[in-house]
Structure 1
Amino acid sequence: MNSHSRRFGFLLIFIMLPMILLIQGKALSAAPMVAAGDGHTLALKADGRVWAWGGNEHGQLGDGSREDRTLPVMIPGLTEITAIAAGHGRSVALEKNGTVWFWGYLPDAHMEKSIAKTFESPVRVEGLDHVIAIASGRRHSAALKDDGTVWTWYAVPPCPFECKYPIILEPLQIQGLQGIARIFFSGWRLIAIDKDGGVFEWRCDGDGEGKTDCPAKAVPGPDGQGSFNIMK
Protein backbone atom coordinates (compact mmCIF):
# COMPACT_ATOMS: atom_id res chain seq x y z
CA MET A 1 0.00 0.00 0.00
CA ASN A 2 1.50 3.38 -1.01
CA SER A 3 1.50 6.52 1.12
CA HIS A 4 -1.60 7.89 -0.62
CA SER A 5 -3.52 4.66 0.01
CA ARG A 6 -2.52 4.64 3.64
CA ARG A 7 -3.69 8.20 4.13
CA PHE A 8 -6.94 7.42 2.35
CA GLY A 9 -7.46 4.35 4.50
CA PHE A 10 -6.96 6.30 7.71
CA LEU A 11 -9.43 8.89 6.44
CA LEU A 12 -12.08 6.22 5.87
CA ILE A 13 -11.59 4.85 9.36
CA PHE A 14 -11.94 8.32 10.84
CA ILE A 15 -15.18 9.03 9.00
CA MET A 16 -16.77 5.71 9.86
CA LEU A 17 -16.11 5.96 13.60
CA PRO A 18 -19.24 7.19 15.45
CA MET A 19 -18.95 10.58 17.11
CA ILE A 20 -20.65 11.16 20.46
CA LEU A 21 -21.72 14.78 20.87
CA LEU A 22 -21.67 16.20 24.37
CA ILE A 23 -23.90 18.82 25.95
CA GLN A 24 -22.50 20.25 29.18
CA GLY A 25 -20.37 17.13 29.55
CA LYS A 26 -23.27 14.71 29.06
CA ALA A 27 -23.87 12.50 26.04
CA LEU A 28 -26.52 13.78 23.65
CA SER A 29 -28.34 10.45 23.90
CA ALA A 30 -30.19 11.93 26.87
CA ALA A 31 -32.18 14.18 24.52
CA PRO A 32 -35.84 13.10 24.24
CA MET A 33 -36.15 14.34 20.65
CA VAL A 34 -33.82 15.05 17.72
CA ALA A 35 -34.73 16.68 14.39
CA ALA A 36 -32.46 16.68 11.33
CA GLY A 37 -32.73 19.41 8.72
CA ASP A 38 -30.82 19.99 5.50
CA GLY A 39 -27.35 20.45 7.03
CA HIS A 40 -28.30 21.24 10.61
CA THR A 41 -29.62 19.33 13.62
CA LEU A 42 -31.82 20.22 16.60
CA ALA A 43 -32.01 18.40 19.92
CA LEU A 44 -34.68 18.84 22.58
CA LYS A 45 -33.57 18.00 26.11
CA ALA A 46 -35.77 16.81 28.94
CA ASP A 47 -35.66 20.28 30.54
CA GLY A 48 -37.52 21.78 27.57
CA ARG A 49 -34.53 23.59 26.10
CA VAL A 50 -33.32 23.27 22.52
CA TRP A 51 -29.77 22.80 21.25
CA ALA A 52 -28.51 23.08 17.68
CA TRP A 53 -25.43 22.48 15.55
CA GLY A 54 -24.38 22.27 11.89
CA GLY A 55 -24.81 24.73 9.04
CA ASN A 56 -26.14 28.18 9.84
CA GLU A 57 -26.27 30.07 6.56
CA HIS A 58 -29.83 31.26 7.16
CA GLY A 59 -29.72 31.52 10.96
CA GLN A 60 -31.36 28.11 11.35
CA LEU A 61 -29.39 27.39 14.53
CA GLY A 62 -31.19 30.23 16.31
CA ASP A 63 -28.18 31.46 18.28
CA GLY A 64 -28.34 34.99 16.87
CA SER A 65 -25.57 34.46 14.32
CA ARG A 66 -24.89 32.88 10.95
CA GLU A 67 -21.82 30.98 12.08
CA ASP A 68 -21.70 27.24 11.49
CA ARG A 69 -21.34 25.20 14.68
CA THR A 70 -19.59 21.85 14.99
CA LEU A 71 -20.61 21.57 18.65
CA PRO A 72 -24.12 21.97 20.07
CA VAL A 73 -25.16 25.44 21.26
CA MET A 74 -28.22 26.17 23.37
CA ILE A 75 -30.80 28.40 21.69
CA PRO A 76 -31.55 31.40 23.95
CA GLY A 77 -35.13 32.23 24.88
CA LEU A 78 -36.69 28.82 24.32
CA THR A 79 -38.08 27.10 27.41
CA GLU A 80 -40.86 24.58 28.01
CA ILE A 81 -40.53 23.27 24.44
CA THR A 82 -42.32 19.99 23.75
CA ALA A 83 -41.53 19.34 20.07
CA ILE A 84 -39.05 20.45 17.40
CA ALA A 85 -38.87 20.24 13.61
CA ALA A 86 -36.10 21.08 11.13
CA GLY A 87 -36.35 21.75 7.40
CA HIS A 88 -34.29 23.38 4.66
CA GLY A 89 -32.61 26.34 6.35
CA ARG A 90 -35.38 26.64 8.93
CA SER A 91 -36.34 25.40 12.38
CA VAL A 92 -39.57 25.24 14.38
CA ALA A 93 -40.36 24.65 18.05
CA LEU A 94 -43.66 23.97 19.80
CA GLU A 95 -44.08 25.40 23.28
CA LYS A 96 -46.01 23.68 26.07
CA ASN A 97 -48.75 26.32 25.90
CA GLY A 98 -49.51 25.49 22.24
CA THR A 99 -47.69 28.41 20.62
CA VAL A 100 -45.06 28.10 17.88
CA TRP A 101 -41.56 29.55 17.49
CA PHE A 102 -39.75 29.87 14.16
CA TRP A 103 -36.24 30.81 13.01
CA GLY A 104 -34.15 30.55 9.84
CA TYR A 105 -35.21 31.16 6.24
CA LEU A 106 -38.80 32.04 5.39
CA PRO A 107 -40.24 32.84 1.94
CA ASP A 108 -42.44 35.90 1.75
CA ALA A 109 -46.12 35.70 0.95
CA HIS A 110 -45.59 37.09 -2.55
CA MET A 111 -42.68 34.76 -3.43
CA GLU A 112 -40.40 37.70 -4.14
CA LYS A 113 -36.83 36.71 -3.23
CA SER A 114 -35.96 40.36 -2.66
CA ILE A 115 -38.18 40.50 0.41
CA ALA A 116 -37.67 36.99 1.74
CA LYS A 117 -36.46 37.13 5.33
CA THR A 118 -34.10 35.23 7.57
CA PHE A 119 -34.53 35.09 11.33
CA GLU A 120 -31.33 34.42 13.28
CA SER A 121 -33.20 34.10 16.60
CA PRO A 122 -36.56 32.48 17.40
CA VAL A 123 -39.67 34.58 16.78
CA ARG A 124 -43.20 33.66 17.79
CA VAL A 125 -45.71 32.98 15.02
CA GLU A 126 -48.39 35.44 16.10
CA GLY A 127 -52.01 34.38 15.90
CA LEU A 128 -51.16 30.68 15.98
CA ASP A 129 -52.20 28.85 19.16
CA HIS A 130 -53.72 25.56 20.32
CA VAL A 131 -51.04 23.77 18.27
CA ILE A 132 -50.39 20.09 19.04
CA ALA A 133 -47.85 19.12 16.33
CA ILE A 134 -45.38 20.75 13.93
CA ALA A 135 -43.49 19.76 10.78
CA SER A 136 -40.97 21.42 8.47
CA GLY A 137 -39.87 20.71 4.91
CA ARG A 138 -38.02 22.07 1.91
CA ARG A 139 -39.84 25.39 1.66
CA HIS A 140 -42.67 25.37 4.18
CA SER A 141 -43.34 24.65 7.82
CA ALA A 142 -46.72 23.64 9.19
CA ALA A 143 -48.64 23.39 12.45
CA LEU A 144 -51.50 21.09 13.41
CA LYS A 145 -54.07 22.63 15.76
CA ASP A 146 -56.21 20.75 18.26
CA ASP A 147 -59.28 21.34 16.08
CA GLY A 148 -57.76 19.22 13.28
CA THR A 149 -56.84 22.13 10.99
CA VAL A 150 -53.37 22.64 9.51
CA TRP A 151 -51.63 25.98 9.10
CA THR A 152 -48.51 27.31 7.38
CA TRP A 153 -46.95 30.78 7.55
CA TYR A 154 -45.04 33.31 5.46
CA ALA A 155 -43.11 36.54 5.87
CA VAL A 156 -45.33 39.52 5.16
CA PRO A 157 -43.88 43.06 4.83
CA PRO A 158 -46.19 46.04 5.46
CA CYS A 159 -45.89 47.27 1.88
CA PRO A 160 -45.06 44.43 -0.55
CA PHE A 161 -42.37 45.00 -3.20
CA GLU A 162 -41.22 48.28 -1.61
CA CYS A 163 -40.31 48.25 2.07
CA LYS A 164 -39.02 45.27 4.02
CA TYR A 165 -39.57 46.03 7.70
CA PRO A 166 -41.15 45.17 9.99
CA ILE A 167 -41.67 41.62 8.80
CA ILE A 168 -44.46 39.67 10.43
CA LEU A 169 -45.26 35.98 10.28
CA GLU A 170 -48.75 35.46 8.90
CA PRO A 171 -50.31 32.01 9.43
CA LEU A 172 -52.61 30.75 6.68
CA GLN A 173 -54.92 27.75 6.93
CA ILE A 174 -54.30 25.00 4.37
CA GLN A 175 -57.59 24.37 2.64
CA GLY A 176 -58.90 20.83 2.23
CA LEU A 177 -57.53 19.55 5.54
CA GLN A 178 -60.03 18.86 8.33
CA GLY A 179 -59.97 16.37 11.17
CA ILE A 180 -56.24 15.83 10.75
CA ALA A 181 -54.40 13.74 13.34
CA ARG A 182 -50.78 13.76 12.10
CA ILE A 183 -48.62 15.76 9.69
CA PHE A 184 -45.28 15.08 8.00
CA PHE A 185 -43.09 16.77 5.39
CA SER A 186 -41.28 15.00 2.57
CA GLY A 187 -39.24 17.63 0.77
CA TRP A 188 -41.73 20.00 -0.84
CA ARG A 189 -44.81 17.95 0.09
CA LEU A 190 -46.89 17.96 3.24
CA ILE A 191 -48.50 14.62 4.04
CA ALA A 192 -51.46 14.62 6.43
CA ILE A 193 -53.41 11.74 7.97
CA ASP A 194 -56.91 12.31 9.27
CA LYS A 195 -58.46 10.64 12.30
CA ASP A 196 -60.07 7.97 10.09
CA GLY A 197 -56.82 7.02 8.34
CA GLY A 198 -57.30 9.03 5.15
CA VAL A 199 -54.09 10.32 3.57
CA PHE A 200 -53.81 13.79 2.02
CA GLU A 201 -51.06 15.61 0.15
CA TRP A 202 -50.37 19.32 -0.13
CA ARG A 203 -47.79 20.93 -2.36
CA CYS A 204 -48.13 24.57 -3.29
CA ASP A 205 -46.02 25.66 -6.26
CA GLY A 206 -45.59 28.81 -8.29
CA ASP A 207 -48.60 31.10 -8.19
CA GLY A 208 -50.25 28.98 -5.53
CA GLU A 209 -47.64 29.57 -2.85
CA GLY A 210 -48.56 32.04 -0.19
CA LYS A 211 -52.23 31.95 -1.14
CA THR A 212 -55.27 30.17 0.23
CA ASP A 213 -56.39 28.83 -3.17
CA CYS A 214 -54.01 25.88 -3.10
CA PRO A 215 -56.01 23.09 -1.41
CA ALA A 216 -54.73 19.73 -0.24
CA LYS A 217 -55.87 16.67 -2.16
CA ALA A 218 -56.70 13.14 -1.05
CA VAL A 219 -54.19 10.52 -2.17
CA PRO A 220 -56.03 8.19 -4.59
CA GLY A 221 -56.42 4.49 -3.91
CA PRO A 222 -54.19 1.82 -5.52
CA ASP A 223 -56.66 1.34 -8.37
CA GLY A 224 -56.92 5.06 -8.96
CA GLN A 225 -60.41 5.10 -7.49
CA GLY A 226 -61.54 6.61 -4.21
CA SER A 227 -58.91 7.65 -1.70
CA PHE A 228 -56.07 5.83 0.03
CA ASN A 229 -56.62 4.88 3.68
CA ILE A 230 -54.04 3.35 6.01
CA MET A 231 -56.74 1.93 8.30
CA LYS A 232 -58.57 -0.10 5.64
Structure 2
Amino acid sequence: MQSKTVLLLGANSDVAKAAIIQYAVKGYRIIAASRSTDELHTFIQQHIPQKEQVTILYFDAVDFDSHESFYKQLPEKPHIVVYAAGYLKNNEEALLDFKGSFRMMQVHYAGAVSILNIVAMDKDNSRLERIIGLSSLSGVRGRKSNFIYGSTKSAFTQYLAGLRQYLFPRHIKVNVIVAGYIRSKMTAGLNLPESLMLEPSFIAGAVVNAGNTFTIVPGFKWKLIYTILKLMPEKLVAKLP
Protein backbone atom coordinates (compact mmCIF):
# COMPACT_ATOMS: atom_id res chain seq x y z
CA MET A 1 0.00 0.00 0.00
CA GLN A 2 1.39 3.40 -0.98
CA SER A 3 2.26 5.63 1.98
CA LYS A 4 0.16 8.71 2.60
CA THR A 5 1.25 12.34 2.63
CA VAL A 6 0.70 14.80 5.46
CA LEU A 7 1.11 18.57 5.10
CA LEU A 8 2.16 20.27 8.35
CA LEU A 9 1.60 24.03 8.34
CA GLY A 10 3.53 25.84 11.06
CA ALA A 11 5.89 22.89 11.20
CA ASN A 12 8.48 24.56 13.41
CA SER A 13 6.19 24.53 16.46
CA ASP A 14 7.16 22.05 19.17
CA VAL A 15 3.99 20.01 18.68
CA ALA A 16 4.46 19.93 14.91
CA LYS A 17 8.06 18.76 15.27
CA ALA A 18 6.95 15.96 17.57
CA ALA A 19 4.24 15.08 15.05
CA ILE A 20 6.85 14.90 12.28
CA ILE A 21 8.71 12.23 14.24
CA GLN A 22 5.54 10.23 14.89
CA TYR A 23 4.25 10.49 11.33
CA ALA A 24 7.68 9.42 10.05
CA VAL A 25 7.63 6.33 12.27
CA LYS A 26 4.27 5.42 10.77
CA GLY A 27 5.73 5.70 7.27
CA TYR A 28 4.05 8.89 6.08
CA ARG A 29 5.59 11.21 3.55
CA ILE A 30 5.76 14.61 5.20
CA ILE A 31 5.66 18.13 3.79
CA ALA A 32 6.88 20.38 6.61
CA ALA A 33 6.05 24.02 5.91
CA SER A 34 7.25 26.97 7.98
CA ARG A 35 9.01 30.32 7.83
CA SER A 36 11.87 28.74 9.85
CA THR A 37 13.19 26.40 7.18
CA ASP A 38 16.78 26.43 8.48
CA GLU A 39 15.63 25.24 11.92
CA LEU A 40 13.54 22.53 10.29
CA HIS A 41 16.46 21.30 8.21
CA THR A 42 18.55 21.00 11.39
CA PHE A 43 15.72 19.22 13.19
CA ILE A 44 15.19 16.71 10.37
CA GLN A 45 18.91 15.97 10.17
CA GLN A 46 18.96 15.20 13.89
CA HIS A 47 15.70 13.28 14.33
CA ILE A 48 14.52 11.64 11.10
CA PRO A 49 16.59 8.64 9.91
CA GLN A 50 14.97 8.51 6.48
CA LYS A 51 15.53 12.09 5.35
CA GLU A 52 13.78 11.47 2.03
CA GLN A 53 10.49 11.13 3.91
CA VAL A 54 10.42 14.87 4.60
CA THR A 55 10.14 17.79 2.19
CA ILE A 56 10.69 21.24 3.73
CA LEU A 57 8.94 24.25 2.21
CA TYR A 58 8.67 27.93 3.11
CA PHE A 59 5.22 28.97 4.33
CA ASP A 60 4.16 32.22 5.97
CA ALA A 61 0.72 32.02 7.60
CA VAL A 62 0.18 35.78 7.38
CA ASP A 63 1.32 36.22 3.77
CA PHE A 64 -2.17 35.53 2.48
CA ASP A 65 -1.39 36.44 -1.13
CA SER A 66 1.17 33.61 -1.29
CA HIS A 67 -1.13 30.82 -0.13
CA GLU A 68 -2.65 29.95 -3.49
CA SER A 69 0.72 29.60 -5.20
CA PHE A 70 2.14 27.73 -2.21
CA TYR A 71 -0.60 25.13 -2.46
CA LYS A 72 -0.41 24.80 -6.23
CA GLN A 73 3.35 24.21 -6.06
CA LEU A 74 3.18 21.39 -3.51
CA PRO A 75 5.16 18.35 -4.74
CA GLU A 76 2.03 16.23 -4.18
CA LYS A 77 -1.47 16.70 -2.85
CA PRO A 78 -1.86 15.74 0.83
CA HIS A 79 -4.08 13.12 2.43
CA ILE A 80 -3.90 14.94 5.77
CA VAL A 81 -3.40 18.64 6.54
CA VAL A 82 -2.41 19.87 10.01
CA TYR A 83 -2.51 23.57 10.92
CA ALA A 84 -0.20 24.16 13.88
CA ALA A 85 0.97 27.75 13.41
CA GLY A 86 0.92 29.77 16.63
CA TYR A 87 1.81 33.13 18.11
CA LEU A 88 1.34 34.34 21.69
CA LYS A 89 1.26 37.84 23.07
CA ASN A 90 0.69 38.47 26.79
CA ASN A 91 -2.88 39.74 27.32
CA GLU A 92 -1.82 42.96 29.04
CA GLU A 93 0.68 43.65 26.27
CA ALA A 94 -1.89 42.79 23.62
CA LEU A 95 -4.34 45.28 25.13
CA LEU A 96 -1.78 48.04 24.64
CA ASP A 97 -0.26 46.81 21.38
CA PHE A 98 -2.83 46.18 18.66
CA LYS A 99 -0.12 44.95 16.30
CA GLY A 100 0.47 42.04 18.68
CA SER A 101 -3.26 41.38 18.95
CA PHE A 102 -3.65 41.57 15.19
CA ARG A 103 -0.81 39.14 14.60
CA MET A 104 -2.51 36.57 16.83
CA MET A 105 -5.69 37.08 14.81
CA GLN A 106 -3.77 36.64 11.57
CA VAL A 107 -1.80 33.56 12.62
CA HIS A 108 -4.53 31.67 14.47
CA TYR A 109 -7.57 32.59 12.41
CA ALA A 110 -7.14 34.58 9.20
CA GLY A 111 -4.10 32.61 8.05
CA ALA A 112 -5.79 29.32 8.86
CA VAL A 113 -8.96 30.26 7.01
CA SER A 114 -6.95 31.48 4.02
CA ILE A 115 -4.93 28.32 3.44
CA LEU A 116 -7.49 25.78 4.65
CA ASN A 117 -10.18 27.23 2.37
CA ILE A 118 -7.80 26.62 -0.52
CA VAL A 119 -7.19 23.05 0.66
CA ALA A 120 -10.88 22.36 1.20
CA MET A 121 -12.03 23.79 -2.13
CA ASP A 122 -9.59 21.72 -4.18
CA LYS A 123 -12.14 19.13 -5.26
CA ASP A 124 -9.58 17.63 -7.62
CA ASN A 125 -7.68 16.32 -4.62
CA SER A 126 -9.56 13.06 -4.14
CA ARG A 127 -6.84 12.01 -1.67
CA LEU A 128 -7.81 14.50 1.04
CA GLU A 129 -9.22 12.61 4.01
CA ARG A 130 -8.57 14.76 7.07
CA ILE A 131 -7.87 18.33 8.28
CA ILE A 132 -6.64 18.88 11.84
CA GLY A 133 -6.32 22.20 13.66
CA LEU A 134 -4.39 22.84 16.86
CA SER A 135 -6.54 25.05 19.07
CA SER A 136 -6.59 25.75 22.82
CA LEU A 137 -8.72 25.54 25.95
CA SER A 138 -8.21 29.29 26.15
CA GLY A 139 -10.85 29.51 23.44
CA VAL A 140 -13.55 27.63 25.38
CA ARG A 141 -14.67 30.56 27.55
CA GLY A 142 -13.65 34.20 27.67
CA ARG A 143 -11.43 34.90 30.69
CA LYS A 144 -9.94 38.22 31.73
CA SER A 145 -6.37 36.87 31.80
CA ASN A 146 -6.15 35.77 28.16
CA PHE A 147 -9.30 36.75 26.27
CA ILE A 148 -7.53 38.21 23.24
CA TYR A 149 -5.47 35.08 22.57
CA GLY A 150 -8.48 32.96 23.55
CA SER A 151 -10.79 34.77 21.15
CA THR A 152 -8.52 33.96 18.21
CA LYS A 153 -8.50 30.28 19.16
CA SER A 154 -12.26 30.30 19.69
CA ALA A 155 -12.76 31.71 16.19
CA PHE A 156 -10.47 29.01 14.76
CA THR A 157 -12.40 26.27 16.56
CA GLN A 158 -15.74 27.55 15.27
CA TYR A 159 -14.35 27.74 11.74
CA LEU A 160 -13.24 24.11 11.95
CA ALA A 161 -16.65 23.08 13.31
CA GLY A 162 -18.36 24.59 10.28
CA LEU A 163 -15.74 23.21 7.91
CA ARG A 164 -16.38 19.74 9.32
CA GLN A 165 -20.05 20.03 8.41
CA TYR A 166 -19.26 21.47 4.98
CA LEU A 167 -16.87 18.63 4.11
CA PHE A 168 -19.02 15.83 5.55
CA PRO A 169 -20.65 14.98 2.18
CA ARG A 170 -17.16 14.40 0.75
CA HIS A 171 -16.28 12.10 3.65
CA ILE A 172 -13.42 14.36 4.78
CA LYS A 173 -12.90 14.39 8.53
CA VAL A 174 -12.06 17.56 10.48
CA ASN A 175 -10.64 17.49 14.01
CA VAL A 176 -9.75 20.20 16.48
CA ILE A 177 -7.16 19.52 19.16
CA VAL A 178 -8.21 21.59 22.17
CA ALA A 179 -4.99 21.60 24.15
CA GLY A 180 -4.18 22.81 27.64
CA TYR A 181 -0.76 24.05 28.77
CA ILE A 182 2.02 22.70 26.57
CA ARG A 183 5.68 22.74 27.55
CA SER A 184 6.98 24.63 24.53
CA LYS A 185 9.01 27.61 23.40
CA MET A 186 5.79 29.62 23.18
CA THR A 187 5.01 29.12 26.88
CA ALA A 188 8.61 29.33 28.11
CA GLY A 189 8.89 31.88 30.89
CA LEU A 190 5.19 31.84 31.76
CA ASN A 191 4.19 30.99 35.33
CA LEU A 192 2.07 27.90 34.68
CA PRO A 193 1.22 25.04 37.09
CA GLU A 194 3.67 22.19 36.60
CA SER A 195 1.03 19.55 37.36
CA LEU A 196 -0.96 20.63 34.30
CA MET A 197 1.90 20.86 31.79
CA LEU A 198 1.77 18.47 28.83
CA GLU A 199 4.66 17.45 26.62
CA PRO A 200 4.56 18.30 22.90
CA SER A 201 4.92 14.60 22.04
CA PHE A 202 1.73 13.84 24.00
CA ILE A 203 -0.25 16.45 22.06
CA ALA A 204 1.34 15.24 18.83
CA GLY A 205 0.08 11.74 19.61
CA ALA A 206 -3.47 13.11 19.70
CA VAL A 207 -2.87 14.71 16.29
CA VAL A 208 -1.33 11.67 14.62
CA ASN A 209 -3.92 9.26 16.06
CA ALA A 210 -6.98 11.48 15.59
CA GLY A 211 -10.18 9.52 15.06
CA ASN A 212 -13.74 10.50 14.21
CA THR A 213 -14.45 12.77 17.19
CA PHE A 214 -14.38 16.45 16.28
CA THR A 215 -13.14 17.87 19.61
CA ILE A 216 -10.09 16.09 21.00
CA VAL A 217 -8.90 17.19 24.47
CA PRO A 218 -5.61 15.45 25.33
CA GLY A 219 -5.08 14.49 28.99
CA PHE A 220 -7.68 13.42 31.55
CA LYS A 221 -7.11 16.49 33.75
CA TRP A 222 -7.73 18.77 30.81
CA LYS A 223 -10.82 16.80 29.76
CA LEU A 224 -12.22 17.51 33.22
CA ILE A 225 -11.25 21.19 33.05
CA TYR A 226 -12.79 21.45 29.57
CA THR A 227 -16.10 19.99 30.79
CA ILE A 228 -16.18 22.27 33.83
CA LEU A 229 -15.45 25.35 31.71
CA LYS A 230 -18.21 24.46 29.26
CA LEU A 231 -20.79 24.06 32.04
CA MET A 232 -19.67 26.77 34.45
CA PRO A 233 -22.13 29.68 34.96
CA GLU A 234 -20.87 33.03 33.65
CA LYS A 235 -20.80 34.57 37.14
CA LEU A 236 -18.26 31.92 38.18
CA VAL A 237 -16.23 32.27 35.00
CA ALA A 238 -15.93 36.00 35.81
CA LYS A 239 -14.17 35.07 39.06
CA LEU A 240 -11.47 33.02 37.34
CA PRO A 241 -8.00 34.56 36.96
TM-score, normalisation: structure 1: 0.30
Structure with more relative contact order (C-alpha pairs < 8 Å, separation 6 or more): 2
Please give the TM-score of this superposition, normalised by the length of structure 2. 0.29
Query: Of the two, which has the highest radius of gyration?
Result: 1
